[in-house]
Structure 1
């Protein structure tokens, strides 16, 4: 097996995909030696998932794992036998630490212990995605006018990735970041070009050929846009666009043919991802009976007007990919679960429930998500700038449409559900953690530790595991050729 080390691991999306890769004999190709993450709850998620993998690979008893994630047993009661042995083995590679210059010595020491002596190391891969807040469009807009933004250390956390490349010289690396990296600037410099230039000046004499996973071309012929991977083109039910660099160490690059991801035969839609989920309804928060009654009356009046509309949809449903949907279903399905886990909807204000219901009805007729300005005035949110000319964020409420891939699931889903309204008007709510996880292509048996807010945060910060699996297949083929 080829070792992998995962930096800025989050809840383990990249790791999950790589860890699922098997060769033609069915043997696992990769083994994780180290996962570095600063968030304590994400580390708990990583340890639990690593325990599951240890049990699968060793043929151990999986029942305690399922009893724990279904809430049938406590952590203390399952921490015995095979489960305890797998947990003790798994947790050795999860290292909670904030990557940065101050902590480089302890991180380097841990990697050295995990990889073993330099003269005994074989081929291995480094994977990970430095935090993206400094590069995302939303993050930059929030910092407009902030003089400290240019010096924010988050701009330069990629250097921790480059430090490990220079010191430990993995055979291949995979670096992921947001699409906004291509347009992000620090002062007069393009952050993307700065990273490419820094990759040419690694310490220790290491050098890498930077390849695209979607365009088969010589590195000198690649444009920045050639590094964008659109997840919906690869069987993920979500329009998540990310910049991903594939680096191949120069001393072996000439022996490895360029490989690219194979596009799916069509999209996997929100309907395909969620159609087997049980129907659930949200509870209301801050219940006040009189207000509830008023809003129900307002909602019903608005629904009457919507239902009198003729269907005006001009959007033909996308032709779904048959093979892609079969592969997606096989990837997420778990027969050992009696019911979906982490599928409890969060409570909503009754006024938001009224908007959600009417907007979902409108979306069915329009074939796309309406803006809140399409609602009757009685359902407009009570903000001072609503109704003004050039009102910002008219899409602050968004219905995810049945017959297309979802919009990007981001960590803001932990704050509210306005951007992730369920397309079924009868359910009248935002997505649950499990539905968001399905759109991210996490298997149904993947459990996120922490309270619901932290679970949403982890899901939104992850790399889609099904996409990662396909990247892992490419890397496995390359390493197998050495």
Structure 2
């Protein structure tokens, strides 16, 4: 029998996730209070169109359901480490019910005019089953696909007359429509920084979106849009104030994204204005410096062998030694699985606690891609140069025989001077984007002895996905999912600020008196 003075913990606040990807925002919100008996948020609906991301979302939701129930069975770890098949995992008696529950709220569907009725029915059903009474608080999260907003996307389609009509420009309208229809107490919308300068038929996209989100239904529904990094009243905020530079908040990556925090007008009076707290940087070394060393495989694979690799490494060692005027180079790999000793203080401790799982016995998704011999040599040279310079070099730092044979390579003005980008040990990485699925030139490992691009797990570490997070699909699909996601640890920090905004911490503290 419960103590008569004990107040039951409030029910978790329902969350709907649109354009969910592999679940970055989803993971952050779901993790608030998850290690206690009082989780703050409950994911009741995730909507995503890409099948591999849906499979990843479903698996991760299953993992969280099992975790909240008390313990994740060994079958999960056996599956992600490749010891059992997916069928064996899904048929495990400890998994079946959790998997069914996950499939019930993860939906593979493309949001748009053709699916509105179906989406609305699923959202209405999810909310009616989760809300204790009409008008209770719930949260909407997500971000429309960003290809049409991004600078890279626009540069590729400069002369494309259909670009202005690209439906990706207007997918935010689905997000807006759902806000208008279902009136969340709070919404969190994410998008790329390039949206600030994006225009469509002469109209600035960001300002238009901001106006729409502030007044989804001007007569009956209004929202106050807040920044999570600038402590100013909404009316005084500038467009740049909505950009979160992730590296300032303990994320080992220079990722700058727009985050809009919307508070329904009738909820505003019972909220506080809060912002994220800056920390010391978490570096590439802090993130991936403990992962086991890997060598690149040589492409084509018919040419790959330990002997061929040793010869390549010897050739690069000799040439780098000559350019440095020393023989003391490329002696041992930088990474050997030892613990990282960073100087980021609490931020590093928090990061490590977030990503680590002692039940992971072997690193998941940590296989190197294959690279052509010429690229392997370039990677080795540029990584060595990065260590010498303390920053990523340009391709012009390559020896003449390794400079790419491009038509405009000798021009005074050469595009893509940083086509080959080495990640630097003692700084946050450059932005991990979906292009990492195409090639590894922008993501060269900082250890000059490994001469390769990053693995999926290394990219996931920089994106702050926990080591027990498994990405379904081919390696290309895995890279694509990682690059498209919101860093889950950043999502957790945002979710914690939503908790403070809604004064949930105070309410929970009061309930314990």
Q: TM-score with structure 2 length normalisation? A: 0.89
Report the Cα offset of residue 198 of structure 1: 1.4
Q: SS in structure 2 opposite 1:254?
A: helix
The partner residue of 1:14 within 25, 50, 56 is 25
Indicate conservation of the 8 Å contact 2:301/2:370, yes or no.
Answer: no
Indicate conservation of the 8 Å contact 1:129/1:176, yes or no.
Answer: yes
Q: SS in structure 2 opposite 1:422?
A: coil
In 1, distance between residues paired with 2:323 and 2:158?
A: 39
Residue of structure 2 in register with 1:101 after alignment: 113
Q: SS in structure 1 opposite 2:270?
A: coil
Q: SS in structure 2 opposite 1:108?
A: helix
The gaps in structure 2 that reach 5 residues or longer are 1-11, 329-341, 508-513
Residue of structure 1 in register with 2:66 after alignment: 55
Residue of structure 1 in register with 2:97 after alignment: 85
In 1, distance between residues paired with 2:301 and 2:26?
A: 42
Pairing of 1:128-277 with structure 2 (within 5 A):
128-203=142-217, 205-264=220-279, 266-277=280-291
In 2, distance between residues paired with 1:356 and 1:176?
A: 34
Indicate conservation of the 8 Å contact 2:368/2:454, yes or no.
Answer: yes
In 2, distance between residues paired with 1:159 and 1:305?
A: 59
In 1, distance between residues paired with 2:323 and 2:50?
A: 45
Q: SS in structure 1 opposite 2:184?
A: coil
Query: What are the Cα deviations for residues 237-283 of structure 1, in whole angstroms up to 9, with x where unaligned?
Result: 0000000000000011022111111112x000000101110001111
Report the Cα offset of residue 186 of structure 1: 0.9
Indicate conservation of the 8 Å contact 2:24/2:491, yes or no.
Answer: yes
The gaps in structure 1 that reach 5 residues or longer are 312-318
Residue of structure 1 in register with 2:460 after alignment: 437
Query: What are the Cα deviations for residues 294-317 of structure 1, in whole angstroms up to 9, with x where unaligned?
Result: 977864553233322799xxxxxx
Would you say 1:5 and 2:20 are equivalent positions? no
Pairing of 1:311-460 with structure 2 (within 5 A):
320-460=343-483
Residue of structure 2 in register with 1:314 after alignment: none
Indicate conservation of the 8 Å contact 1:47/1:91, yes or no.
Answer: yes
- Quick check: 223-232 or 57-66, which moved more? 57-66
Indicate conservation of the 8 Å contact 1:17/1:467, yes or no.
Answer: yes
In 1, distance between residues paired with 2:296 and 2:148?
A: 34
In 2, distance between residues paired with 1:163 and 1:239?
A: 32
Q: SS in structure 2 opposite 1:81?
A: coil
In 2, distance between residues paired with 1:77 and 1:24?
A: 28
- Quick check: 450-459 or 194-203, which moved more? 194-203
Distance 1:128 1:207, change over 3 A: same
Query: What are the Cα deviations for residues 54-75 of structure 1, in whole angstroms up to 9, with x where unaligned?
Result: 0000114421111100001111
Aligned residue pairs total 473
Query: What are the Cα deviations for residues 96-140 of structure 1, in whole angstroms up to 9, with x where unaligned?
Result: 111111111100010011111885352110000111111111111
Distance 1:287 1:49, change over 3 A: closer
